[in-house]
Amino acid sequence: MVHGYYTKLIKTQKIDALSCPHCNSNYNMQYETYCKVHHIMFIPFVAGKKTSSIGCSKCGSHYKPAAFAQYTQAALDFTKQTKKRWYHFSGLVLLLVFVAAGATLMFMGNRENKKRMADNFANLKAGCVIYYSKAKDINTSMLVSRVVADTVFVHENKRSTNRNAYYIDDSDNYYKEETYFLKSQLKQWLEDKKITDVSEPQTYAE
């Protein structure tokens, strides 16, 4: 079973003046605190409810605290004061560590990606491909043919896709004719996140 729980005795304390109703032994009765531990794939994940009992360490019999009126309150207090074991939260801690590490990696990857894109845009030249979205789920690209002062000449892509524009970045897909954009306009697209990526100059295998 992937997920389940078990009940663990986490703390005991002797009760001197009580004898066991089952085996009659003295000095073996104790306050007991049990804790429900939820596990996933046998890794203790989170500690749940604590329960209180009075038991005999000799014969192993257990009684509800209410069975011994004189000791009921003390048994409940004992359990209340028992701290849950930190290692019964191992799975939760592990999960949080993984999530935090994953989020950090994603954040760093994203930042690196942005920087690469900005660098490629700043050094825009023939052979660079600009990937952008015309509208929601309409992604396409254009192949830069030359950059003259503030004018960027491109071959636009004949096709568009609702997937990543990388899928249609094929030399056959670009129009032979050139069109052009002002670099300031493309820069605005970059800021508006309309441009999703800018590649380094690339050569296409014919």
> Which stretches of the chain bind Zn ion, using CB under 5 A?
20, 22-23, 56, 58-59
Closer by beta carbon to Zn ion, 24 or else 123: 24
- Shortest separation between residue 26's beta carbon and Zn ion, angstroms: 10
Helices (H), the chain: 72-81, 90-122, 183-191
Strand partners, 63: 54
- Shortest separation between residue 105's beta carbon and Zn ion, angstroms: 56
What's the full length of the chain, in residues?
Answer: 206
**What is the torsional sign of CA 193, 195, 196, 199?**
negative
- Report the C-alpha dihedral over residues 103, 106, 111, 117, rounded to 10 degrees: -160
How far apart CA 205 and CA 170 sit, in angstroms, is 9
Residue among 32, 24, 17 at smallest CA distance from 63? 32
- Shortest separation between residue 86's beta carbon and Zn ion, angstroms: 32
Closer by beta carbon to Zn ion, 25 or else 171: 25
- Shortest separation between residue 66's beta carbon and Zn ion, angstroms: 18
Closer by beta carbon to Zn ion, 64 or else 194: 64
- Residue with structure tokens 């491909």? 129
Closer by beta carbon to Zn ion, 25 or else 113: 25
How far apart CA 81 and CA 102 sit, in angstroms, is 37
Closer by beta carbon to Zn ion, 19 or else 145: 19
- Shortest separation between residue 32's beta carbon and Zn ion, angstroms: 13
Half-sphere exposure of 153 (CA within 13 A, CB side): 9
